[in-house]
Structure 1
Amino acid sequence: MEGTIRNPDVSSVVVGVDGSPPAHRAALWAAAEAARRERPLHIVHAADTDSRSLYLSVPGVEGIREVGREILRSTAEAVSAEYPGVLVTTEFSGSDPVTSLRKAAGTHGTIVVGNRGMGGFHSLVLGSVGLRSAAGARTPVIVVRGTEEATETGVVLVGIRDERDFDCARYAAREAELRKASLRLLHVWNVLETVGTVTTTLDDMEEIAGRHVQRLKAVSQQIRDEFPDLTVEADAEKSISVPAVLVEASHHADLLVMGGRRSPGYIGPTLGRATHSLIHHAHCPVLLVPRYGHESGSES
Structure 2
Amino acid sequence: MSEGPVVVGTDGSAAAARAVRWAAQEAAFRHQPLHIVCAVDLDLAERLSAETTRRVREAARSLLGEAAAAASGRAPGLAVSTEIGREPAADSLLRAAASEAPQAPGGTAAEATIVVGSRGLGGFSALLLGSVGLTVAGQARCPVVVVRGTERPSSGVVVAGVRDEEDLEAVRFAGEAARRRKASLRLLSTWTYLQYVGSMAPMADVVRVAVEAEAAASTRMLGAVREEFPDLKVTEEVARVPSPAGELVAESLRADLVVVGARRRAHHTGRALGRVTHALLQHAHCPVAVVPRG
Give the TM interval when normalised to the shorter protein.
0.7 to 0.9
- Match for 2:91 among 95, 99, 104? 99
The yes-or-no answer on 1:13 pairing with 2:6 is yes
> Separation in 1 of the partners of 2:95 and 2:289?
19
Q: Which amino acid aligns with 1:132?
A: T
- Match for 1:79 among 71, 81, 87? 71
The alpha-carbon deviation at position 220 of structure 1 amounts to: 1.3
- Match for 2:131 among 104, 128, 131? 128
TM-score by length of 1: 0.85
The yes-or-no answer on 1:151 pairing with 2:144 is no
Calculate the aligned-residue CA RMSD, in Å.
Answer: 2.5
Q: Classify the secondary structure of the residue corresponding to 1:71.
A: helix
Aligned ranges for residues 1-300 of structure 1 at < 5 Å? 11-54=4-47, 56-106=48-98, 108-119=111-122, 126-148=129-151, 150-192=152-194, 195=197, 198-199=200-201, 201=203, 203-204=205-206, 206-208=208-210, 210-212=212-214, 214-262=216-264, 270-292=272-294
Provide the aligned length of Structure 1 versus Structure 2.
277
Q: Classify the secondary structure of the residue corresponding to 1:35.
A: helix
Instruction: Please list the CA deviations of residues 41-71 of structure 1 after superposition, one character each: whole Å capped at 9, or x if unmatched.
Output: 00100011313432x1111111111111000
Q: Which amino acid aligns with 2:30?
A: R
Structure 2 residues without counterparts, runs of 5 or longer: 102-110
Q: Is the 8 A contact 2:192 2:243 kept in 1?
A: yes
> Separation in 2 of the partners of 1:76 and 1:16?
11
Task: Provide closer, same or farther for how the CA distance between residues 143 and 53 of structure 1 changes in structure 2, counting only shifts above 3 A.
Answer: same
Task: Provide closer, same or farther for how the CA distance between residues 72 and 241 of structure 1 changes in structure 2, counting only shifts above 3 A.
Answer: same
Which residue is 2:106 aligned to?
A: none
Answer with 224-233 or 30-39: which moved more. Answer: 224-233
The alpha-carbon deviation at position 212 of structure 1 amounts to: 3.9
Q: Is the 8 A contact 1:110 1:142 kept in 2?
A: yes
Q: Is the 8 A contact 1:114 1:144 kept in 2?
A: yes
Q: Is the 8 A contact 1:162 1:219 kept in 2?
A: no
Instruction: Please list the CA deviations of residues 77-98 of structure 1 after superposition, one character each: whole Å capped at 9, or x if unmatched.
Output: 1221231121011111221111
Task: Provide closer, same or farther for how the CA distance between residues 200 and 243 of structure 1 changes in structure 2, counting only shifts above 3 A.
Answer: farther
Q: Which amino acid aligns with 1:139?
A: C
Q: Is the 8 A contact 1:259 1:289 kept in 2?
A: yes
Q: Is the 8 A contact 2:169 2:292 kept in 1?
A: no
Q: Which amino acid aligns with 2:137?
A: A
Q: Which amino acid aligns with 2:175?
A: A
Q: Which amino acid aligns with 1:130?
A: G
Q: Is the 8 A contact 2:163 2:215 kept in 1?
A: no
> Separation in 2 of the partners of 1:194 and 1:163?
29
> Separation in 2 of the partners of 1:204 and 1:226?
35
> Separation in 1 of the partners of 2:10 and 2:33?
16
> Separation in 1 of the partners of 2:65 and 2:72?
11
Which residue is 1:7 aligned to?
A: none
The alpha-carbon deviation at position 229 of structure 1 amounts to: 1.4
Instruction: Please list the CA deviations of residues 268-297 of structure 1 after superposition, one character each: whole Å capped at 9, or x if unmatched.
Output: x810000000011001100000113xxxxx
Q: Classify the secondary structure of the residue corresponding to 1:252.
A: coil
Q: Classify the secondary structure of the residue corresponding to 1:288.
A: strand
Which residue is 1:3 aligned to?
A: none
Task: Provide closer, same or farther for how the CA distance between residues 66 and 183 of structure 1 changes in structure 2, counting only shifts above 3 A.
Answer: same
> Separation in 1 of the partners of 2:289 and 2:63?
25
> Separation in 2 of the partners of 1:46 and 1:284?
25
> Separation in 2 of the partners of 1:280 and 1:240?
18
Q: How many percent identity over aligned positions?
A: 46
